[in-house]
Amino acid sequence: MDFIENNVKTAAPMLVLLDRDCRFCSGLGNWLQKHPKAQEFHISDQRHWPSDCPWPAEVSKDYLVYFSRAKHWCKGDAAVLALAYDLGGVWKTLSRLARIFPSPIRRKLYLIWSKNRYRLFGKVQHCDLPRW
């Protein structure tokens, strides 16, 4: 994926695409922007995906999408684990521990979470996520 610009001298930045309407996702984006590794991430809204880059057909907009430093993308539970791993520290350890559970179970839990996130946390009227 060549659309990720290299704004960091040592490595290409990672891209996190979130749902700007979800209160939880918006909060996650704001938390990531304040994280010590924030300069390594581009955090944006899925709705403002660049028009010259086709959206992967196999990805529903209900998923968190993450493009890693290696320019591989992942979605859903795999994206959560990859993002946690790349954050380092305790998040990296938690990511490794979560991999103990089989991926069908992780995937099912993520789908339950994503389908109920509006009901659990609500929607936001205004989101401060940057536009791509």
**Which letter, b or e, does each residue of 95-114 get, where b requires 16 or more Cβ atoms within 10 Å of its Cβ?**
beeeeeeeeeebeeebeeeb
Look at residue 3 in the predicted model and tell me its pLDDT: 34
The answer, as to whether pTM is greater than 0.85, is no
Give the closest residue to 22 by CA, choosing from 109, 95, 125, 101.
Answer: 125
- The one-digit pLDDT tens for each residue of the chain (132 residues) are 333 333 333 345 678 888 878 888 888 888 888 888 777 888 877 766 656 565 565 566 678 888 876 667 788 899 899 999 988 899 999 999 999 999 999 999 999 998 898 898 888 776 666 554
Look at residue 74 in the predicted model and tell me its pLDDT: 82
Does residue 126 lie in a domain region?
no
Does residue 127 lie in a domain region?
no
Tell me 45's DSSP state: E
Look at residue 128 in the predicted model and tell me its pLDDT: 63
- Alpha-carbon distance 90 to 70, whole Å? 22
Look at residue 98 in the predicted model and tell me its pLDDT: 94
Range of the domain at 91: 14-121
Does residue 20 lie in a domain region?
yes
Look at residue 112 in the predicted model and tell me its pLDDT: 93
Q: How many domains does the chain have?
A: 1
Does residue 39 lie in a domain region?
yes
Does residue 3 lie in a domain region?
no
